[in-house]
């Protein structure tokens, strides 16, 4: 990868990486750090990383940075309790489906969020996701399945069905 | 192919993605009829709307480019600049050390920089900073009336009390010096700068003479000092040259 391609990659991927980190549960500072670290790593390995591989390279670093941050912070993934304790997370009649979906998305565990983002937003295959998240393909498929099932159940609990509100 | 409660989610995922062979699909459908709760989960999976999150722009892409510029900094030039700086500092230090040339000897009371009461100060050679003062005494052996250079026991400041100085052990006799009258005592304080001081290589700083002695002492002292200074200055030059060669200072 050349320097020019590197700079082009910044324009292409920085926003997606940042969103990915935020949706994995990182705060803005952690997300920014993760993205910076990812591009720093890419620069360091510039001759070895091709433009085609750069995307998965970057997402891998961002996810690992966010995951290690959560391990450090010992975040307890208990979405139900969070929902009960935090009034802002209570179902609101003003929520439209998009907001409700976002709410449901934030409800699922971090690793499921990461896998779902990589699949539905970034378009990665199960095999690629398993490489980025350092999981087996069977684990990835299981998490993807559980993620959408959980989100659907959450939407149903909020009163949203297939016909929307 | 065996579907169990441990692996059914993987099969249902692949079923929903259309990633199973016809035989595998049939097997899953049969299994689902036997497990209605799993069938309900599959319905939930299929009914969940796709994610469509809004873009979130990264706050400062410029910093990522700047970081790349920093990483691209030619470290070899930075290394060269550091080496040049260190060399320059070394050269500057060397040159600043070489600036400490002694002032030419001044003899005679009229050329004295200061006059303390009851004392004549004779500046023989004056050095600049840094200064390591190691005063010595030169006393006159009453037996031979020849000056004897000896070390003072303690290092002193210029404002010391001469009477408190103790004569150290006589180390060497200064040759080729006009002998002084036996009743006269001369105290010579050396100021040694840069040059590692040995009793053989003293550097004459100034001479304090008790004026209560013979009034002609100053004249005699001037002559004596000029002889002394030349002697010592040449020794100083030799010592200094040696020091510069070794580029080291001996601690006192």
CA-to-CA distance for A140 and A117, rounded, in angstroms?
12
CA-to-CA distance for A149 and A152, rounded, in angstroms?
5
A15 touches B: beta carbon within 8 Å = yes
Residue B230: pLDDT band (50, 70, 90) is very low
Query: Is it the case that residue B249 has pLDDT exceeding 60?
Result: no
- Residues contacting residue A124 through CB under 8 Å, at least 6 positions apart: A56, A59, A118, A132
Query: Is it the case that residue B81 has pLDDT exceeding 80?
Result: no
* Residue in A120, A155, A162 nearest the CB of B50: A120
- Specify the residue for token string 């002292």: B221
A·B CB contacts under 8 A:
94
Whether residues B58 and A40 touch (CB distance < 8 A) is answered with no
Give me the helix-helix angle, B36-47 and B8-17, nearest 10°: 40
Query: Is it the case that residue A149 has pLDDT exceeding 70?
Result: yes
Task: Write out chain B residues lying below 8 Å of A39, CB-based.
Answer: 64, 67-68
* Residue in A7, A145, A156 nearest the CB of B9: A145
How does the average pLDDT of chain B come out, rounded?
54
- Residues contacting residue B42 through CB under 8 Å, at least 6 positions apart: B12, B15, B16, B32
Q: Which of B5, B18, B39, B64 best tests the A interface by mutation, with the highest count of A CBs <10 A?
A: B64
CA-to-CA distance for B89 and B99, rounded, in angstroms?
15
CA closest to B9 among chain A residues: A142
- Token readout for B239 is 């010592």
- CA nearest neighbour of A158 among A106, A109, A89: A89
* Residue in B44, B45, B64 nearest the CB of A39: B64
Residue A77: pLDDT band (50, 70, 90) is very low
- Residues contacting residue A98 through CB under 8 Å, at least 6 positions apart: B52
> What pLDDT score does B121 carry?
28
> What pLDDT score does B31 carry?
93
Contact of B234 with B202, CB cutoff 8 Å:
no
Chain B nearest CA to A142, separation (Å): 5
Mean pLDDT of B156-183: 36
> What pLDDT score does B29 carry?
93
Q: Which residue has the higher pLDDT, B245 or A122?
A: A122
Q: Which residue has the higher pLDDT, B53 or A5?
A: A5
Residue B199: pLDDT band (50, 70, 90) is very low
CA-to-CA distance for A116 and A101, rounded, in angstroms?
13
Whether residues A15 and B57 touch (CB distance < 8 A) is answered with yes
Residue A130: pLDDT band (50, 70, 90) is very high
Contact of B217 with B119, CB cutoff 8 Å:
no
- Specify the residue for token string 């393909």: A137
Task: Write out chain A residues lying below 8 Å of B57, CB-based.
Answer: 15, 18
Q: Which of A145, A147, A152, A155 best tests the B interface by mutation, with the highest count of B CBs <10 A?
A: A145
CA-to-CA distance for B28 and B45, rounded, in angstroms?
15
B70 touches A: beta carbon within 8 Å = no
Peptide bond into B85 cis (omega under 30): no
- pTM for this predicted structure: 0.49
Query: Is it the case that residue B45 has pLDDT exceeding 90?
Result: yes
> What pLDDT score does A162 carry?
56
Q: Which residue has the higher pLDDT, B49 or A75?
A: B49
pLDDT digits (tens, 9 = 90+) for B105-142: 333 332 223 323 333 223 333 332 223 333 344 443 33
> What pLDDT score does B79 carry?
67
- CA nearest neighbour of B226 among B93, B125, B98: B125
This model of the complex carries an ipTM of 0.76
Query: Is it the case that residue B191 has pLDDT exceeding 50?
Result: no
Highest-scoring range by mean pLDDT, A96-100, B160-164, B228-232? A96-100
Classify A7 as helix, strand or coil: helix
CA-to-CA distance for B205 and B123, rounded, in angstroms?
6
Whether residues A120 and B10 touch (CB distance < 8 A) is answered with no
Query: In percent, how much of chain A has pLDDT > 90?
Result: 36
Query: In percent, how much of chain B has pLDDT > 70?
Result: 30
Cross-strand bridge partners of residue B151: B136
Whether residues B45 and A148 touch (CB distance < 8 A) is answered with yes
Query: In percent, how much of chain B has pLDDT > 90?
Result: 15
> Quick one: B162 exposed, middle or buried, by C-beta within 10 A (0-12, 13-18, 19+)?
middle
> What pLDDT score does A128 carry?
92
> What pLDDT score does A69 carry?
75
Cross-strand bridge partners of residue B104: none
Residue A138: pLDDT band (50, 70, 90) is very high
pLDDT digits (tens, 9 = 90+) for B10-34: 999 999 999 999 999 999 999 999 9
């Amino acid at each position: 990868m050349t320097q020019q391609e590197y700079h082009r990659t910044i324009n292409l991927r920085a926003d997606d990486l940042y969103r990915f980190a935020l949706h994995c549960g990182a705060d803005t500072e952690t997300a920014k750090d993760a993205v910076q670290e990812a591009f720093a790593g890419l620069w360091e390995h510039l001759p070895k990383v091709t433009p085609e591989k750069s995307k998965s390279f970057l997402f891998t670093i961002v996810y690992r940075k966010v995951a290690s941050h959560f391990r450090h912070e010992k975040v307890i993934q208990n979405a139900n309790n969070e929902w009960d304790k935090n009034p802002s997370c209570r179902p609101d009649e003003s929520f439209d489906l998009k907001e409700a979906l976002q709410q449901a998305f934030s409800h699922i565990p971090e690793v499921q969020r990461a896998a779902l983002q990589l699949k539905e937003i970034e378009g990665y295959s199960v095999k690629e996701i398993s490489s980025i998240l350092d999981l087996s393909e069977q684990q990835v498929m299981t998490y993807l399945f559980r993620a959408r099932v959980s989100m659907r159940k959450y939407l149903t609990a909020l009163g949203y069905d297939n016909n929307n509100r | 192919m065996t579907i169990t409660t441990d692996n059914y989610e993987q099969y249902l995922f692949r079923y929903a993605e259309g990633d199973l062979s016809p035989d595998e699909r049939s097997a899953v459908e049969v299994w689902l009829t036997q497990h209605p709760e799993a069938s309900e989960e599959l319905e939930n999976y299929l009914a969940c709307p796709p994610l469509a999150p809004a873009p979130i722009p990264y706050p400062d892409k410029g910093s990522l480019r700047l970081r790349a510029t920093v990483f691209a900094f030619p470290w070899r030039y930075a290394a060269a600049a550091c080496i040049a700086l260190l060399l320059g500092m070394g050269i500057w230090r060397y040159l600043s050390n070489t600036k400490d040339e002694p002032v030419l000897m001044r003899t005679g009371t009229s050329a004295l920089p200061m006059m303390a009461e009851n004392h004549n100060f004779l500046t023989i050679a004056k050095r600049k900073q840094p200064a390591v003062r190691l005063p010595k005494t030169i006393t006159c052996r009453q037996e031979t009336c020849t000056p004897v250079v000896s070390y003072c026991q303690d290092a002193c400041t210029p404002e010391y009390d001469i009477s408190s100085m103790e004569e150290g052990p006589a180390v060497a006799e200064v040759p080729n010096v006009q002998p002084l009258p036996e009743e006269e005592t001369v105290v010579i304080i050396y100021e040694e700068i840069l040059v590692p001081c040995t009793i053989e290589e003293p550097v004459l700083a100034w001479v304090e003479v008790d004026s209560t002695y013979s009034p002609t002492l100053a004249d005699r002292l001037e002559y004596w000092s000029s002889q002394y200074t030349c002697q010592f200055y040449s020794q100083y030059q030799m010592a200094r040259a040696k020091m510069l060669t070794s580029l080291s200072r001996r601690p006192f």
